[in-house]
A and B are shown apart, each in its own frame.
Chain A
Amino acid sequence: MFKKFTLILVLSVLLISLVSVFGFAEKLTLIGPWAGAEQAGFMPVLEAFTEKTGIDVEYKVYRFEDLVTMLPAQFAAKKTPGDVIFMSGTEWMVKNAKHLADLSDVINEGDFVPGTLVSKVDGKLLAGTFTGKIKPGFWYSKSFFSKNGLTVPQTWDELVTLLQKIKMIPGIEAPIASGDGTGWPLSDVTEHFLVSFGGPDLQKDLIAGNIKWESNIVKGVFEKLVFLLKSGYFSEPAEWTTILKQWEKGEYALYFMGSWITGMVGNPDDLGVFSLPGCEGMVFGPDYFNVPIYSKNIEDTKKLAAFLSGKEGQTVSASLGGHIATNLGVPVEVYPTVDRGVAELLKGVQSLPDLDDTVGGEFQPAFWDQLKLLWVKPNRLDDVLKVLDEKMP
């Protein structure tokens, strides 16, 4: 009796281990940073992939900063926690080039909006491009504007006049709401100023480290921002989702935010957006993913990579709203109405990478922290710029 029991036990353990090793081997793992509502805007893409190919994909949430800590050890042990990993920062990609698979055989350069594919490293394409979010400018409520006789500014002077006018409206705490997540969107507003008044090349040079933060060009741009800060046109930094509610209630008129805001408000059709006058570039943050070479199922993973970057995957994502495609094959009709307008904005301007996401490392949290300081103490501009230069890699 005892022997029989042991036999059954051993067999079941063997069976379970076999099943867990082989039975689920078909499943791929994808790691991304989105959770909650943002995750809901991504899962249908994976579901569409499974429907098409029959391959299951398990989604896991990891923040970029945790991945940065965890991946080196995993890669060194020739393992990977995910077959497809959404990661940020070209610096990271270049550093880990030898662990990443070449995706040139499944991703075709010509299919994408220029500038949205990562540069090749030693002739290899190490990251695939998914859809992205634009940070176009200041969002406002169209009904609020028409009720108060406000118009979209075309020049710097018109902007200042507009802000002055808004400040006088009763019920307004401050014309522009300053959202503070862990430091962004303050960084997004700042980058928008740099691009609008310094030009797209300035953004690229800052990222590459070719220009110092303390240089006259950069300082000049910041001084415009500081002028608005000192005039009290910006609010004190507040939790970005709390202030979103207050903005909807009319306590603030303008809110600088990324295109994902369309999915977060009660009435997206009332939304309008304008960029700073003279803006010729826009921060378009596509999401990039890598495929580590240690994936257990490279074949299927490459299929997933092709799907995500390809027309099909991006179409699903775009249709859910809040995302803009990088793949040229995605027709503009699939976008929900308000996103169509945003996609139009992207035409005719240069698409640029997000500065602090790209530089990353110690610079990013310092950038956020210094901007929080600048917002409440605009007269400390010189100190802030000095620290930014210190923290650049």
Chain B
Amino acid sequence: MKIKTYKKIIHDSLAWIIAFIWIIPFLGLLMAAIRPMDELLHGWWNLETLNLTFKNFIGAWNHSNVPLGQGTVNSLLIAVPATVIPVLIATMTGYGFSRYRFPAKRSIYILIILMLALPQQMIAVPIFGIMNKLGLINNYFGLIIVHTAWGLPWITFFMRNFFTTLPVEVEEAARIDGASDVRIFFNIALPIATPAIVSAASLQFTMVWSDFFLALILMYSPEKLLATQRIPLMRGVYFVDWGLLAAASILLMLVPILVYTFLQKYYVKGMIGWSSK
């Protein structure tokens, strides 16, 4: 008995040490953000002088040329629509694929699945051209459309897999009672699908928020830049400062981390959805 308990204590302690090792880089980042530069010049792990300050966070938020506050607002303006719209549309599409038969269904579905593997580089140049012709370069609407279109394949795949696990009996019963298909979708299927929808939404939101490449191509006005774009600009081109950069990085991370913290169950289920379906 005792040996087992000892073993367990050692095992658990080692596990926590692993966790500590894992979190060290974050600690370093935090230190850089809350301590003045002079203290950091030769290692943030030196804790002799500890003058904590929040001025880097304020500086990053109100930075004179790439304020993260403005960037955060911009990113939200993109991420929210670019989550809601594709999730709504793709849920319907996923439902359609799981319930109906139609010509070329299999081929279309395979095509959609193929797109899941594609890198964004594959559409970058033509998208730039299309958006240019539509006058949507440097326009949030354009970026939202691209993110929406890009998110549709994977969310469709995801929701379709979910709906196939849903027994059709309830829907059938409703149909016999005379309900139309659309009604069945909105009143029966959709409510049951809520957990899956939340999963998909949390993943899509995080992906759009974290996006850098598409924003890099389509957005360039200083005041319109998204939060992710402002980070590299704080380094190297203008006055750079590890403290500011660290604070800005932390601010940028906060949003997806908050999403993860509050929606963890759904988030993780979403990722796992890839494997158990």
Contact = CB atoms under 8 A, between A and B. Distances in A.
Judged by CB atoms under 8 Å, the answer to whether A and B touch is: yes
Interface of A: 35-39, 60-63, 66, 69-70, 73, 180-182, 239-242, 245-246
Contacts, number: 48
B239 A37 contact: yes
Closest 8 CB pairs of A and B: A35-B65, A66-B220, A36-B64, A182-B236, A61-B222, A73-B132, A181-B236, A36-B239
Nearest to A81: B221
Given A39-B65, A60-B222, A242-B242, 11 more contacts: A35-B64, A36-B64, A37-B239, A62-B222, A63-B237, A70-B137, A180-B236, A182-B237, A239-B242, A241-B240, A242-B41
A35 B225 CA distance: 15
B46 to A, nearest CB: 16
Interface of B: 37-38, 41, 64-65, 132, 137-138, 220-222, 235-242
Contacts of B38: 245
Contact of A73 (B137, B240, B241): B137
Nearest to A67: B220
27 contacts: A35-B64, A35-B238, A36-B239, A37-B239, A38-B238, A39-B64, A61-B65, A62-B220, A62-B221, A62-B222, A63-B237, A69-B220, A70-B138, A70-B220, A73-B137, A180-B236, A181-B236, A181-B237, A181-B240, A182-B236, A182-B237, A239-B242, A241-B240, A241-B241, A242-B41, A242-B241, A242-B242
B56 to A, nearest CB: 14
B35 to A, nearest CB: 14
A309 to B, nearest CB: 25
A386 B236 CA distance: 26
B65 A36 contact: yes
B19 to A, nearest CB: 31
A66 B238 CA distance: 15
B224 to A, nearest CB: 11
A61 B65 CA distance: 8
B37 A245 contact: yes
Contacts of B242: 239, 242
A10 to B, nearest CB: 25
A36 B59 CA distance: 12
B239 A241 contact: yes
A195 B132 CA distance: 43
Nearest to A74: B137
Nearest to B225: A66
A39 B64 CA distance: 9
B236 A239 contact: yes
B238 A36 contact: yes
Contacts of B220: 62, 66, 69-70
Contacts of A73: 132, 137
B237 to A, nearest CB: 6
Contacts of A61: 65, 222
B41 A246 contact: yes
